[in-house]
Amino acid sequence: MLAYVAQQDTSTTALFCRHCGDPCDRPVRDGDEVFCCTGCRSVHALLMQEGLDRYYACERPPGVSQRDAALREPDRFAALDDPAAAAPFLEFDDGRIARARIPVPALHCASCVWLLERLWKLQPGVVSSEVDLLRGIVRVTFRPRETTLRAIAERMAALGYEPNLAVERPTGGVPAARRRLYRQIGVAGFAFGNIMLFSIPRYVNGAPLEEGFQRLFDLLNLGFALPVLLFSASDWFRGAWQTLRTRHVTLEFPVALGLTVIFARSVADIALGTGEGFMDSFSGLVFFLLIGRLFQQKTFERMAFDRTYRSFFPLAVRVERDGTCNVVPIERIGAGDVMLVRPHELVPADAVLLDGPGAIDYAFVTGESVPVAVSAGDTVHAGGRVAGHTLRLRALGPASHSRLASLWANPILQAPKTTALANLNDRFGLWFTVCAVAIAVAGAIWWWPDLGMSARVATAVLIIACPCALTMAAPVTLGTALGQLGGRGLFARHPGVVLDLSRIDTIAFDKTGTLTTLSAPALVEHGGLPAADWRLVRAAAAHSVHPISRALAQSGDASGVVSDLVETPGRGLSAVVDGSRVRIGTAEFTGVAADDRPGVTHVSVDGRAGWVRVTVPTRDGIDETVRALSREHDVHLVSGDHDAEAARWQPLFGRGMAFRRTPAGKVEFVRGLQARGRRVLMVGDGLNDAGALAAADVGIAASDATACVVPACDAVIAGDRLRELPAYLRYARRARSVIVLLFVLSMVYNAVALGIALTGALTPLAAAVLMPISSIGTIGGAAGAMRWSARRLLPS
Amino acid sequence: MSVIVLLIVAGSLVAGGFLAAFLWAVESGQFDDTHTPALRVLLDDAVERHSSIGSEGAVHDHTRR
């Protein structure tokens, strides 16, 4: 078989991994095949050996890159041997046969489904497995006597499908709610069809049927409509009751009011013999509303956002007990336990540091990503991420997922944003209800004292004013837009984000990781020191998350024993490596003669002076993107770095640049723009701008791995899609105009229908024709317009 | 005309039967995942069949609901 070779945009021929399709910087070969890393090669070899070569039948190599596989701990699934840790994943277990639901975020294509449903070939003891691609779940049935959940998880990880056990237990709640919705739709559709059957003879006849038949048909209609009222429509009544209790009227309320009135009026008509009632309109309306709701839920599910939301949380931690080191589920941690927390792991409980010094990054708690130096005896708070080397900590109390989950409640990260969508619904709900009731009362007064006519007109107004089309317009439009954007690399947290995006007038960019990319290797130049010293410098740099340090550390051998590490934000890093004092940072901090060349960072090793310059490559096409955006928006650059690159960005951002901003400074910068009445979109990488992302009207995190979620952002954009930002913004604005158009159309339509209602001429036939048209028209119009616009405005 | 009453009863029974069938289908999970089955058919082939027979007579249950 030939190596997977493809043509890149830059028209250079590059090698792409046979297994995962990623470009190969350092290709690994196996016969004719080329791989990006040894991990990919071994997965490929395993599959070939098992005769599972069909896995590669896709056009694009389907595998998951194994480049980071070596960094993962081999015993990370050991906790699953503990029944308490395994229990949340087991649906069923009788000792002979068991079934587990395992979340696997990496699932993405037909080949994934194919391979994971053949798990029984690779793992003895597995009976069968079933993939739910959209929810990212694999359901494995196995014989617990022959294999264990841990072995299955390890097997899946070895295939490149790392189970994400930190995701909160995949609840049975979603399918249960979905089944209920399907049942409601079934009942409403059934009733709707049958009621139409008994209503059409009356319409065709033009006059009431023979006495006996009309009576029978009316009663049958009432009988069919009852389950619709009691079961299918129950959610709206519950919603309306909620809005009444919280005194927060949304558009749900007039819908429930309309449904109540339409049913009550029909019952009255049938009971008094004054007409045949509106049961066909009633059941049809509920049916279409439910279809709209299903549509909305489906769109939500397509967003693979929430399922990775909690993936930061650790499941288990290593604990030293009686001289041995065990992996223990974090629920079992108690006060006094000695935990070993490795670099990049979260500290699961408040703890005291036993051996110092160390560094903790509290980015997820405070939004500040510069690691804080801690020494022995210091208290380390839960939620901190260990930077540098492994720390020994003594827990001060128990840990729990809920304690960690409460970190999300941190005001910086979770300050509730009032989205434009919520405003829309709230403002309209109250306004609409008041208007509809006022017109109904006015109509009743107009026809007074003709009691029968007053009642008919008032109820007709409330029936026709039922804002079904309005409740559908925004959710369907935004939901469709969300789905279309998601398919093109912009994953928004909720549909309201699209509406917020459409109102943006100012855009602030973070520099490092956003305008520049960390996915391509940085150019590291250095000089002034003997080669042996650079290993020490790299070893010290490896303990920092600063982009320059990271690039430096990755540029070569970074081994060495590091102690006494202190990092001072904005100044530099100092540490003792293999007995030598290493300083990296400003000239003043390192104590060497200042070097005036732009972008140079100073280094000293035991007083010997050196310099290093890291040039992080900019993203392809970012200049055109910023230029295009600046035509319609105010663009700003806000960076934590020194202003050495100011000249590079000057032509794009002009005076709208701010350098040397701390994370808090970035928040201030965004707030400052907002104080001037701007609606700000912040684009960052979420590393040291989490606070700014949260403070902005919309925060988008540019990520080179979309599985990595920044808690504070409203949306995640795939790094290579950042250049399409102008098109995305145009599309968001289009969504807004579609909603406005639908609102106007629907209001005009309602006004005409209201005219008919006020003259007392709203017959059941007129209602049966008018009401579904508006609902179907809105759903179809919204979805169609957004799909069509996506093809026109968005890159494929 | 009373034949109409008979037809109504018969028609409602048939319709009710379909409703019951639908509710059963929902309850048995057929609507839980409507996305993956579409992908499942894409990569099926004969290769797995002959190799699954050769797996030491172990009984594999790969029937799908």
Selected for mutation to probe chain B from A56, A60, A117 (highest B CB count within 10 Å) is A117
Contact, A391 vs A355, CB < 8 A? Answer: yes
From residue A309, give the alpha-carbon distance in Å to each of A158, A303, A647, A670, A712.
Answer: 23, 12, 38, 25, 11
Rounded CA separation A707/A705 (Å): 5
Q: How confident is the model at residue A418, as a pLDDT?
A: 55
Q: Which residues of B touch A131 (CB under 8 A)?
A: 36
CB neighbour list of residue B39: distance below 8 Å, 6 or more residues apart: A109, A110, A113, A114, A133
Give residue A112's identity as a one-letter amino acid code. Answer: C
Q: In terms of C-beta density within 10 A (0-12 exposed, 13-18 middle, 19 or more buried), how is residue A5 classed?
A: exposed
Dihedral angle of Cα A493, A494, A497, A499, to the nearest 10 degrees: 160
pLDDT, tens only, A644-673: 677 788 888 888 888 878 777 888 899 999
The residue type found at A465 is A
Instruction: Report the gap between the CA of A47 and the closest CA in chain B (Å).
Output: 12
Cβ atoms of A425 and A474 within 8 Å: the answer is yes
Q: Write out the H or E segment, with its range, that includes residue A499.
A: helix A496-502
Q: Which residues of A touch B (CB under 8 A)?
A: 51, 53-55, 57, 109-111, 113-114, 117-118, 120-121, 124, 127-128, 130-135, 141, 175, 178-179, 182-183, 186-187, 190, 193-194, 197, 213, 216, 220
Give residue A252's identity as a one-letter amino acid code. Answer: E
Does B30 touch chain A if contact means CB atoms closer than 8 Å? no
Q: Could you tell me if B22 lies within 8 Å of chain A, comparing CB atoms?
A: yes
Quick: pLDDT tens for B31-59. 887 777 877 777 665 444 434 433 333 44
Cβ contact A541:A558 at 8 Å: yes
Name which of A133, A179, A186 is nearest B39 (Cβ-Cβ).
A133
Contact flag B15-A131 (C-beta cutoff 8 Å) = no
**Cα A720–A726–A731 angle (5° rounding)?**
110
Q: Which residue has the tokens 């587990």?
A: A100
pLDDT at A249: 74
Q: Which CA distances in Å does A79 have to A73, A235, A309, A400?
A: 12, 41, 21, 15
What pLDDT score does A731 carry?
Answer: 94
Residue B49, chain A, CB below 8 Å: the answer is no
Where is A634: in which H helix or E strand?
Answer: strand A634-638
Q: Are strands A657-658 and A634-638 parallel, antiparallel or unpaired?
A: parallel
The H-assigned helical ranges of A161-278 are 173-205, 211-227, 234-246, 252-272
Inter-chain residue contact B39 with A190, CB threshold 8 Å: no
Tokens of A563: 């102690």
B36, A213: Cβ pair inside 8 Å?
Answer: no
A597-606: long-range contacts at Cβ-Cβ below 8 A with a sequence spacing of 24 or more? A598/A644, A598/A645, A598/A647, A599/A642, A599/A644, A599/A645, A600/A644, A601/A548, A602/A572, A603/A526, A603/A528, A603/A529, A603/A537, A605/A529, A605/A533, A605/A536, A605/A537, A605/A580, A605/A581, A606/A580, A606/A581
Calculate ∠ Cα A450-A451-A453, nearest 5°: 70
| A110/B18 touch (CB, cutoff 8 Å), yes or no | no
CA distance A403 to A691: 21
Contact by Cβ (8 Å): B16, A117: no
CB A17 within 8 A of CB A44: no
CB contact under 8 A, A127 and B12: no
The verdict on a CB contact (< 8 Å) between A175 and B61 is no
C-alpha to C-alpha distances, B48 to A49, A124, A132, A428, nearest whole angstrom: 13, 16, 21, 58
Chain A: residue nearest B33 by CA?
A: A132
> In the structure encoding, which two tokens stand for residue A12, read together?
């250079």
Query: How many CA atoms does the CB half-sphere of A494 hold within 13 Å?
Result: 9
Instruction: Report, as an integer, the average pLDDT of B7-28.
Output: 93
**What local confidence, expressed as pLDDT, does residue B59 receive?**
41
Hey, are the CB atoms on A183 and B18 less than 8 Å from each other?
A: no
- Residue B53 near chain A (CB below 8 Å): no
Residues of chain B positioned with their CB less than 8 A from the CB of A141: 61
Write the burial class of residue A321 (CB in 10 Å: 0-12 exposed, 13-18 middle, 19+ buried): exposed
Q: How far is A595 from chain B (nearest CA, A)?
A: 60
Closest CA to A612 of A570, A550, A688: A550
Q: Is B12 an 8 Å CB contact of chain A?
A: yes
Contact B23 A183 (CB under 8 A): yes
Residues in contact with A415: Cβ distance below 8 Å, sequence separation at least 6, in sequence order: A694, A695
Q: Do A54 and B18 make contact, defined as CB atoms within 8 angstroms? A: no
Taking an 8 Å cut-off on Cβ atoms, the answer to whether B26 and A183 are in contact is: yes
The answer to whether the CB atoms of A186 and B60 lie below 8 A apart is no
Answer yes or no: are the C-beta atoms of A503 and A486 closer than 8 Å. no
Contact at 8 Å (CB) between A285 and A466? Answer: yes
B51 touches chain A (CB under 8 A): yes
Residue B43 in contact with partner chain A when CB distance is under 8 A: yes
Contact status, residue A764 vs residue A281, Cβ threshold 8 Å? yes
Length of chain A: 796
Taking alpha carbons only, the member of A372, A377, A370 closest to residue A393 is A377
Are the C-beta atoms of A217 and A202 separated by less than 8 Å? yes
Element (H, E) at A636: strand A634-638
Neighbours of A139 (CB within 10 A): 18
**B36, B50, B65, best to mutate vs chain A, most A CBs in 10 Å:** B36
Q: Residue A403 corresponds to which amino acid?
A: R
Q: Tens of pLDDT along A134-164? A: 777 888 999 988 898 889 998 888 888 888 7
Containing A28, the helix (H) or strand (E) segment is strand A28-30
Q: Where are the alpha helices (DSSP H) in A542-689?
A: 547-553, 587-590, 622-632, 646-653, 663-675
Hey, is A639 helix, strand or coil?
coil
Number of C-alpha atoms within 13 angstroms, CB side, residue A127?
A: 15
Q: Which among B18, B23, B33, B42 is the top mutation candidate for probing chain A, defined by the most A β-carbons within 10 Å of its own β-carbon?
A: B33
Chain A interface disruption, residue of B26, B28, B60, most A CBs within 10 A: B26
Which residues on chain A are in Cβ contact (under 8 Å) with B8? 220
Q: What is the distance of C-alpha A558 from the center of its chain?
A: 35
Q: Closest-CA residue in chain B for A126?
A: B60
Q: Which residues of B touch A197 (CB under 8 A)?
A: 11
Residues of chain A with pLDDT under 70: 1-14, 25, 58-59, 67-73, 166-175, 299-316, 329-331, 343-344, 363-370, 388, 399-426, 518-522, 544-547, 569-570, 598, 644, 686-688, 704-712
Q: Tokens 């009227």, residue?
A: A249
Q: Quote the pLDDT of residue A597.
A: 75
Cβ pair A280, A232 in contact under 8 A: no
Quote the ipTM score. 0.74
A197's tokens = 């059957």
Q: What is the DSSP string of A603-617?
A: EEETTEEEEEEEEPP
How far apart, in whole angstroms, are the C-alpha atoms of residue A461 and residue A437? 8
For A324-352, the pLDDT digits (tens) are 777 776 667 777 888 888 766 778 778 88
Radius of gyration (C-alpha) of chain A in whole angstroms: 31
Structure tokens at A372: 């804080």
CA distance B24 to A551: 59
Q: Distance (Å, rounded) from C-alpha A364 to C-alpha A346? A: 10
